[in-house]
A = this chain, B = another copy of it.
Amino acid sequence: MNSELAKLERFLKIRPLYFDEETKEFIWLDTRLLPFEEVYRRTRDYRRVAEAIRSLEIRGAPAIGVSAAFGMALAALESKARSVEELLRELEEAKRVLASTRPTAYNLFWALDRVMGRASRDALSGDPGKVSEGVVDEAMKIYVEDVKTNVEIGRIGSKLIENGSRVLTHCNTGALATAGFGTALGIVRYAWYEGKSVEVITTETRPVLQGARLNVWELKKEGIPFKLIVDSAVAIVMKRGLVDLAIVGADRIVLTGHVANKIGTLQVALAANYAGKPFYVAAPTSTVQRSWDAESIVIEERGKDEVITVMGRAQLTLKDIEVYNPAFDVTPPELISGIVTERGIATKPYSESLPKLLS
């Protein structure tokens, strides 16, 4: 496994999360403290992983999925179960705790199901040690695959980026949103590595400021030129011709081509369509739910502190007020120019192209 990872080394300048095979600890960069402090956290307790996901120390659908898989690995490693049945019960409990952290990111449920599937298959051996090893192995596989998938999304998506392109993005979809490298921002990174001249226009992405904090940190690290704008400036920036295309990530995609992503994505899509600019989504196929029901997508509503403060540090307004804080919105397929995955670019009609890509 590590030899595969070694081959990806040059794409892993930023390692936002990983498993330390010697100490058996899961380690992650606390994204809440960026760009001011680079603090890595570590744990052997899957409940702490759940807490890190819930509190946004770890965020971004692929990163959440991979972290949840490692959470399962920690649960397996801490288990003292003497039977396969006992171990499976403990793993089911860990899965329940990890699944309850964030409702929208599909990769979370995908990763947990995949790890439990492996455990169920290995359970036939009747050996809890083998089941436990399998869970750790599966988590590592999910991790390495995510990096590979991102690089492949970057390679495929880079074709959309001409030399000199100005790319608008919303929220963070870079290394910090994945096991490494990134999805939408991974495409920009790949194009940059290929020697193309690019400029990123990033929104700040209120309320949690993934653009202002995380994109700024990643882009500075890479030396990729960028401009920061408030979320409200997207339409005028598009209309004034300061952007060639928009690329965003996804938290959940269904087979109709409806895309749930960070609150504000729908407004970026509307602005791009209004200004006649392409609007792309980039995500691994692990973000695609095999469902035809866009209405069933659960939109997480978060607490009001996110809105009335800046990362809990400064108060923006009075405390005793009503706030509506949906964390995601859903962009309909007709506004989307293409969905870039590691298996190719799906185009309209998505209800045909997405199932074909997944088959």
Contact = CB atoms under 8 A, between A and B. Distances in A.
Interface string A184-221: 00000000000000000101111101001100110010
A233 B263 contact: yes
Contacts of A227: 322-324
Interface in A273-332: 274, 299, 304, 307-308, 310, 313-318, 321-326, 329-330
A204 B316 contact: yes
Contacts of A322: 225-228
What does DSSP make chain A's interface, helix, strand, loop or mixed? mixed
A131 to B, nearest CB: 42
Contacts of A230: 206-207, 231, 263-264, 307, 325
A241 interface: no
A271 interface: yes
Copy tally for this chain in the complex stands at: 2
A353 to B, nearest CB: 24
B232 A205 contact: yes
A272 to B, nearest CB: 10
A45 B5 CA distance: 69
Nearest to A313: B314
24 contacts: A35-B317, A206-B231, A212-B307, A212-B317, A227-B322, A228-B308, A228-B323, A229-B324, A229-B325, A230-B231, A230-B263, A230-B264, A232-B262, A232-B267, A232-B329, A233-B326, A235-B267, A236-B326, A237-B324, A239-B266, A267-B267, A310-B310, A310-B314, A314-B314
